[in-house]
Amino acid sequence: MSKIVVIPGDGIGKEITDSAVEVLKTVDKKFNLNLEYEYHDAGGTAYDKFGVPLPDETLEACKKADAVLFGAVGGNKWDNVKAELRPERAILGLRKGLGLYANLRPVKVVDSLVGNSPLKPELVKGVDLVIVRELVGGIYFGDRCESEIKDGSERAWDLENYSVPEVERITKLAFETAKIRRGKLTSVDKANVLATSRLWRRTVTKVAENFTGVELNHLYVDNCAMQLCVNPKQFDVIVTGNLFGDILSDEAAVIGGSIGLMPSASIGELTSLYEPIHGSAPDIAGQGIANPMGTILSAAMLLRYSLKAEEAAKAIEAAIDKTLADGFRTADIYSDGFKKIGTEQATKEICSRI
Ligand code: NAD
pLDDT score recorded for residue 224? 98
SS (H, E, C) the chain: CEEEEEEEECCCHHHHHHHHHHHHHHHHHHHCCCEEEEECCCCHHHHHHHCCCCCHHHHHHHHHCCEEEEEECCCHHHCCCCHHHCCCHHHHHHHHHHCEEEEEEEEECCHHHHHHCCCCHHHHCCCEEEEEEECCCHHHHCCEEEEEEECCEEEEEECCCCCHHHHHHHHHHHHHHHHCCCCEEEEEECCCCCHHHHHHHHHHHHHHCCCCCCEEEEEEHHHHHHHHHHCHHHCCEEEECHHHHHHHHHHHHHHCCCHHHCEEEEEECCCCEEEECCCCCCCCCCCCCCCCHHHHHHHHHHHHHHCCCHHHHHHHHHHHHHHHHCCEECHHHCCCCCEECCHHHHHHHHHHCC
Cα–Cα distances in Å, from 268 out to 66, 100, 241?
11, 4, 16
Interatomic CA distance for residues 303 and 224, integer angstroms:
30
pLDDT score recorded for residue 258? 80
pLDDT score recorded for residue 90? 96
pLDDT score recorded for residue 292? 98
In tens digits, the chain (354 residues) has pLDDT values of: 999 999 999 999 999 999 999 999 999 999 999 999 999 999 999 999 999 999 999 999 999 999 999 999 999 999 999 988 999 999 989 998 999 999 999 999 988 899 889 999 999 999 999 999 999 999 998 999 999 999 999 999 999 999 999 999 999 999 999 999 999 999 999 999 999 999 999 999 999 999 999 999 999 999 999 999 999 999 999 999 999 999 999 999 999 888 899 999 999 988 999 999 999 999 999 999 999 999 999 999 999 999 999 999 999 999 999 999 999 999 999 989 999 999 999 999 999 999
CA of 259 to the centre of ligand 1 (A): 9
pLDDT score recorded for residue 83? 87
CA of 282 to the centre of ligand 1 (A): 7
**162 near 241, Cβ under 8 Å?**
yes
Name the residue of 19, 76, 258, 280 to mutate for ligand 1: max ligand atoms within 8 A of Cβ: 280
**250 near 236, Cβ under 8 Å?**
no
pLDDT score recorded for residue 233? 97
CA of 278 to the centre of ligand 1 (A): 5
Interatomic CA distance for residues 352 and 69, integer angstroms:
22
Residues whose beta carbon lies within 6 Å of some atom of ligand 1: 12, 72-75, 88, 91, 259-260, 275, 278-284, 290-291, 294, 332
Q: Cα–chain-centroid distance for residue 170?
A: 15
pLDDT score recorded for residue 310? 95
Q: Within 13 A of 164's CA, how many CA atoms are on the CB side?
A: 5
Index of the ligand 1 atom closest to the CA of residue 278: 2
**310 near 302, Cβ under 8 Å?**
no
CA of 274 to the centre of ligand 1 (A): 16
pLDDT score recorded for residue 249? 94
pLDDT score recorded for residue 307? 97
Positions annotated as catalytic residues are 140, 190, 222, 246, 250
